Amino acid sequence: MTELSMPFSDLLGVEILDATKEQVRASMAWRADLCTAAGILHGGALMAFADSVGALCAVMNLPEGHLTSTIESKTNFFRAVREGTVEAVAVPLHVGRSTIVVQTDIRDAQDKRVSITTQTQAVLIPPSA
């Protein structure tokens, strides 16, 4: 399985389930330390989850040797998560020479939509060594 190789994603507990150019699937468990004072999975944790999974989707679509960085992200929230595991599915909406646009759908354990994030990733040429 493809690893994210992002320490922050490890801190969140992100587990990659499947990763191809067409789709990246991952899961993240509800944990008290990722919650608001009300015991609801923090929106920032969900956004970071979506950004990490979406970035991996972009990486899967990069030309060889190129890098990427998020340059824009927008999230809509639909429901609170108070327990269980959430699953993210990221798909590329546009793969261009200078940007890749990815949409990440996060659903709860009952397969109800929690959030949708659309992000734009820059396609970066690596600096010469």
- Sorted by sequence, the CB contacts under 8 Å of residue 15 that are 6+ apart come out as 26, 27, 28
Write out pLDDT tens, residues 43-71. 999 999 999 999 999 999 999 999 999 99
Write out pLDDT tens, residues 29-45. 999 999 999 999 999 99
According to CATH, the topology of domain 7-124 is Thiol Ester Dehydrase; Chain A (3.10.129)
pTM of the model: 0.93
Least Cα distance to 67 among 14, 5, 12, 1 occurs for 5
- Sorted by sequence, the CB contacts under 8 Å of residue 22 that are 6+ apart come out as 91, 92
- pLDDT at residue 4, as a whole number: 54
Share of the chain above pLDDT 90, in %: 92
Domain spans of the chain? 7-124
CA 3 to chain centre: 13
- pLDDT at residue 1, as a whole number: 43
DSSP letter for each residue of the chain: ------HHHHHHT-EEEEE-SS-EEEEEE--GGGB-TTSPBPHHHHHHHHHHHHHHHHHHTSPTT-EEEEEEEEEEE-----SSEEEEEEEEEEE-SSEEEEEEEEE-TTS-EEEEEEEEEEEEPPPP-
- pLDDT at residue 123, as a whole number: 97
Write out pLDDT tens, residues 2-11. 455 789 999 9
The residue-averaged pLDDT of 83-97 equals 98
Please say whether the beta carbons of 100 and 121 come within 8 A: yes
